[in-house]
Chain A
Amino acid sequence: MPYLHRKDVPNPRRSAAIRSLLPMALFLAALTGFVWHSRGPTSVAGNVVPVLEATLQAGTPQQANASGPELKLPLEEKSVRFAVIGDSGTGDREQYDVAKQIEIYRQKVGFDFVIMLGDNIYGGHSPKDFADKFEQPYKPLLDAGVKFYASLGNHDDPGVERLYKPFNMEGERYYSFQKGDIGFFVLDSNYMDPAQLDWLENALHNSKAKWKICYFHHPLYSDGKSHGPDLDLRAQVLPIFKRNGVNVVFSGHEHVYERLKPEEGIYYFILGNSAKLMTRDFSSTQNMVVGKDTERGFMIVEIAGDNLYFQTISRVGETIDSGTAGRQAPPPTQSSR
């Protein structure tokens, strides 16, 4: 049974109770010397719901921009760590701000690769565009040897980007790679033709990876109103995901952050706000666990054994969301095609 730690699901009654107890709690905290630690704004559709939790960690507060970045990952030995960015290639100041935060966290977390959820280069695809929208903002990461694995969005040029070596696509629109026990399956959701569907089925079926992570641009589920879910894409790929034990799906396209309720045992994240932002974008909270449409951001992920730890960070270094996802049991029967 899949689970997510749902400590951050907003509960209005609980929030009201917390707010009423806040002054007394702060007074007691000051008296006793306990550190009260805010987990950052858990926001649904732009409505910030402050959730406070007591962490008895006297003397070791983890606060953003005070004594280094706030960290929610356990940093276990031999774990696989990576960052996630989506809809990043604008070349605007906001992209550079997010990139700076990614580098700050890289120094703390030590991840060595970044997955890109598409729209890597907006607008033109001249050499200057590549410089302004990728090479310059992520220069510290590239200089540190961090590898980027790109997927294609609707603003990307497949003829050029799949051949651009720093995107590590090996000349293909869709491809896979493995890090430790984790298999990554990178899809081109702009053009999900029968050849790609066949490849996906085979690649997932033949993979011996413990974790199977798929990422691509267009979300299968979304509460965003700019685009919403791609129903036709979902109808074609979801049966393949389910048959072959996909654990996690990352998408972009919607310029927000959204963590969705697991659907049929698969965890879904949307991160399309690493440079672009669409405020007041949520039309509902039907599928949502946590949503943020008021700030740009990125994710850092750590996978250790059967746990996936994630932390979503804003461009000013605030933690927007964090939690742990347990690995689901693989499907009971072999994939039947």
Chain B
Amino acid sequence: MSRCIGITLRRHLRRQTCWAYALLILCAAGFAQTKSDAAADQPEARILADFGDRVRKYLQSRQKAGGSPKQAKEPEKLANDRKQTAAKVRVARTDAKQGDIFTPEITGYFRQQITATFAGPEGPKVRASLRRAEPVRGIVLKLNAAYPATLPRQSTPPTLLLNLPRLPKELEYRIVGRDLALHDTVTNLIVDFIPNAIPAS
């Protein structure tokens, strides 16, 4: 009788030990997975942080040049404020060149995000929206140049915006032909751009 109880107890203990081992293996696997995910995320986080810094630096220089404009009843005042701020920003960024904000690494990240958006489930809707949004063609983008006042602006598909890094209030991603521009709405200047960022349809 006592022998029988002993065997049952041993079996029970063995089963519990097995479960404990299994749990340990699972935890270890999970930890390893998390660690590898974090490692995979690190370059992306670093790229995003770098992009954020570069955008912030641009805004600081814009702030020094003229700050945020105020509301006015007179269009003359609005036009003059913009003109003066844009002129100061141009002077402050005389040495700026394409790729200062969209560095090769950041550009690579953006291209990856854009490709994923167009290849994703919402891709057809995004393409349809772009086709119907009065596509702007024939403009050669130039750094520090004003976006032509007489041209319409093509709407940027919301799904694409969900997949790109968020921008501060007065900056926008603007699609011009197949290029993606970083546009300052206050000064109306092209801050930087990625040529041929949008896949050909």
Residues of A at the B interface (CB closer than 8 Å) are 123-127, 129-131, 154-155, 157-160, 163-166, 170-171, 189-195, 197, 218, 227-233, 235-237
Contact B166 A195 (CB under 8 A): yes
Asked whether, in the complex, the Cβ of A232 is within 8 Å of the Cβ of B82, the reply is: no
In the complex the two chains form, is A190's CB within 8 Å of B156's CB?
yes
A230 pairs with B132, CB closer than 8 A: yes
B201 on the A face (CB < 8 A)? no
Docked complex Cα distance between A126 and B132 (Å): 28
Smallest CB gap from A235: residue in B = B125
B159–A154 touching, CB < 8 Å: no
Asked if B132 and A157 make an inter-chain contact with CB atoms under 8 angstroms apart, the answer reads no
11 other A-B residue contacts (CB within 8 Å) besides A159-B185, A190-B156, A194-B162: A124-B150, A154-B155, A158-B172, A192-B158, A193-B158, A194-B166, A195-B166, A218-B133, A231-B128, A232-B157, A236-B158
The digit string for B158-179, where 1 denotes a CB below 8 A from any CB of A, is 1101100011011010000000
CB-based contact B76/A127 at 8 Å? yes
Query: A189: which B residues are within 8 A, CB to CB?
Result: 155
Interface residue from A124, A170, A193, A236 paired with B149 (Cβ < 8 Å): A124
Q: How large is the interface on B (under 10, 10 to 19, 20 to 34, 35 or more residues)?
A: 35 or more
16 residue pairs from A and B, CB less than 8 Å apart: A123-B149, A154-B134, A159-B187, A160-B82, A190-B156, A192-B155, A192-B161, A218-B155, A227-B133, A232-B128, A232-B157, A232-B158, A233-B157, A235-B122, A235-B125, A236-B162
A190 to chain B: closest residue by CB:
B155
* A232-B71 contact, Cβ under 8 Å, with A155-B152, A193-B167: no
> What chain A residues lie within 8 Å of B158 (beta carbons)?
192-193, 197, 232-233, 235-237
- Decide yes or no: A154 and B188 within 8 Å by CB, A127-B75, A164-B75, A193-B161 being known contacts: no
Among residues of A, the one whose C-beta sits closest to the C-beta of B136 is A154
Provide the residues of chain A in CB contact with B157, threshold 8 Å. Answer: 232-233
A230:B71 contact, CB within 8 angstroms: no
Q: Is the CB of B71 within 8 A of A166?
A: no
A166 to B129, CA, bound (A): 31
CA distance A165 to B72 in the complex (A): 6
Distance in angstroms between the alpha carbons of A127 and B82 in the assembled complex: 13
* A230-B161 contact, Cβ under 8 Å, with A159-B185, A170-B71, A193-B167: no
Q: Mark B69-92, 1 if CB is under 8 A from A, else 0.
A: 111111110110010000000000
Bound form: Cα–Cα A159–B170 in Å: 8
The contact of B166 among A191, A193, A236, by CB within 8 Å, is: A193
Residues of A within 8 A of B48 (CB): none
B152 surroundings in chain A (CB, below 8 A): 154-155
Chain B nearest CB, measured from A127 CB (Å): 4
For the complex of A and B, 5 pairs with smallest distance between CB atoms: A232-B129, A130-B75, A159-B185, A192-B158, A127-B75
Q: Which of A131, A154, A218 has the most CB of B within 10 A?
A: A154
B166 x A157 contact (CB < 8 A): no
A62 to chain B minimum Cβ distance, whole angstroms, is 38
- The answer to whether A160 and B128 touch (CB under 8 A), given A124-B150, A197-B158, is no
